[in-house]
Amino acid sequence: MEDILHIDMDAFYASVEQRDHPEYKGKPLVVSGDVGSRSVISTASYEARKYNIFSAMPLAAALKKCPDIIIINPDFKKYASASDHIKTILHEYSPEIEQASIDEFYLNISGSHLLFGSSFEIAKKIQSHIKKELQLTCSIGISYNKLLAKMASNIKKPEGITHITGSNLSALFDHLEIEKIPGLGKKAALKLHMINVFTIKELKKLSLKKLNELFGINGTYFYNASRGIGSSELIFSNDVKSISNEITLKYDTMDQNIIKKIMLKLSDQVASRLRMDKLKGKTIKIKLRYYDFKTISKQLTLVEFINTADDLYRIGLDLIDDMISRPIRLIGVGVSSLIHENNEQLSLFKNNKKLEFEKNIDVINKKFGSKTIKRGSLL
């Protein structure tokens, strides 16, 4: 059954501003900082997108394309209030909600059909309900896992509903550009373009071995994603089966060196907590909050369980690579899908030198203080 919905609000910040200021309706509008600053665009209205103006574009570049564009300073309390209202509406249709960002939600409606009808009927009711109460539109994807539901919600915008099933998967999916796969960013796309892979259909022709040679651990994800294989498990905000840590930066930054240093520090902290509790995990999650308070996350589920900082840092860098599109104010690293290390099936060929090394550091820091031994790059 296709019981996973992805609800994606259309041009959320801009739509809220157009709703609250009728004089802006039908006009190109962006939510950004002051004209004189080094601001980037947080959200562009659909009228602005006709000028090829999109989120993460420098404001100065947008003004060159449309000098008369309306610039609104963000009101994050107002957007958060609207987001909370949307979540309240969604709770009327299912208690199983994952909030992926301020304007994106996953909903499991497997237990809602007797009350509200088919998956498509539920999606229509949600759209109408949100529009009636908040005067905002959303696009909804319906499928049997989160990956396909998210991709489906992006096919018809604004205010569209797309239903991906096993029977229409190839027809809707194969012709899409590889960049439409969540998590397949510019660098990965460029590598694939160099071997004449531009569409999902072409990506499916590559073997798992070839993709792993090109992308390491991410190769398995690309292999599965091109075939529509993904998780349907929702992550709830009260989930305690994970270990994570996050840092709010003193200053917003896009500096790669600063971000790498913070990622390494967080990886050390999370890995140390895992080992302290004798746990390993295989789902790695990176969380970013941008200067405009929009929060996004990306995760990857591995084949093997890990609890070393080196592994966590390496995978985290791969995940975060294409997320650094605008100044960042908060970075978080987390690990879930946990298992007690005594329950893990050991591999005869697995190299445990890194693990033993980090465990020895744990022992010394526990005895003499948490800051006794630090990585040189963190000094």
| Domain coordinates in residue numbering, the chain | 4-10+78-169, 12-76, 176-225, 242-378
What residue has token string 């980037």? 40
The answer to whether residue 315 scores a pLDDT higher than 70 is yes
The answer to whether residue 350 scores a pLDDT higher than 50 is no
pTM: 0.68
Q: What is the pLDDT of residue 362?
A: 57
The answer to whether residue 211 scores a pLDDT higher than 80 is yes
12-76 is classed in which CATH architecture?
3-Layer(aba) Sandwich (3.40)
Q: What is the pLDDT of residue 11?
A: 95
Closest C-alpha among 318, 265, 253, 334 to residue 290: 253
Q: Domain 176-225 belongs to what topology? A: DNA polymerase; domain 1 (1.10.150)
Q: Domain 4-10+78-169 belongs to what topology? A: Alpha-Beta Plaits (3.30.70)
The model's pLDDT over 281-303, given as tens digits with 9 standing for 90+, comes to 989 999 999 988 888 999 998 88
Point out the least confidently predicted range of 107-116, 122-131, 142-151, 321-330: 321-330
Q: How many whole angstroms separate alpha carbon 221 and alpha carbon 37?
A: 39
Longest dimension (CA), the chain: 68
Q: What is the pLDDT of residue 179?
A: 94
Average pLDDT over residues 82-102: 91
Cβ distance 79 to 296 under 8 Å? no
CATH classification of 242-378 is 3.40.50.1860, yes or no?
A: no
The answer to whether residue 348 scores a pLDDT higher than 70 is no
Q: What is the pLDDT of residue 12?
A: 96
Confidence of residue 239 (pLDDT cuts 50, 70, 90): very low
242-378 matches 176-225 in CATH topology: no
In this structure, what token pair is assigned to residue 21?
Answer: 């200021």
- Catalytic position from the list 17, 104, 133, 213: 104
Confidence of residue 343 (pLDDT cuts 50, 70, 90): low
Point out the least confidently predicted range of 71-80, 152-161, 185-194, 349-358: 349-358
Half-sphere exposure for 372 (CA within 13 Å, toward CB): 11
Phi, psi of 22 (to 5 degrees): -55, -25
The answer to whether residue 192 scores a pLDDT higher than 90 is yes
**Distances 69 to 29, 42, 253 between C-alpha atoms, Å:** 6, 14, 26
Q: How many whole angstroms separate alpha carbon 134 and alpha carbon 147?
A: 27
**Cis status of the peptide bond prior to 158, with omega within 30 of 0:** yes
Confidence of residue 278 (pLDDT cuts 50, 70, 90): confident
Q: What is the pLDDT of residue 365?
A: 54
The answer to whether residue 359 scores a pLDDT higher than 60 is no
For residue 188, what are the contacts with CB-CB under 8 A and spacing of at least 6?
215, 218, 222, 322
Q: What is the pLDDT of residue 69?
A: 94
In the beta sheet, which residues pair with residue 87?
none
The model's pLDDT over 128-175, given as tens digits with 9 standing for 90+, comes to 999 999 999 999 999 999 999 999 999 999 999 999 999 999 999 999
Cβ distance 246 to 288 under 8 Å? no
Q: Is 121 a catalytic residue?
A: no
Output helix, strand, coil percentages for the chain, rounded to the nearest 5.
40, 25, 35
Cβ distance 327 to 291 under 8 Å? yes
Closest C-alpha among 150, 147, 21, 7 to residue 78: 21
Q: Cβ–Cβ contacts within 10 Å for residue 37, how many?
A: 10
In this structure, what token pair is assigned to residue 118?
Answer: 């088919």
The answer to whether residue 357 scores a pLDDT higher than 70 is no
In this structure, what token pair is assigned to residue 343?
Answer: 């329950």
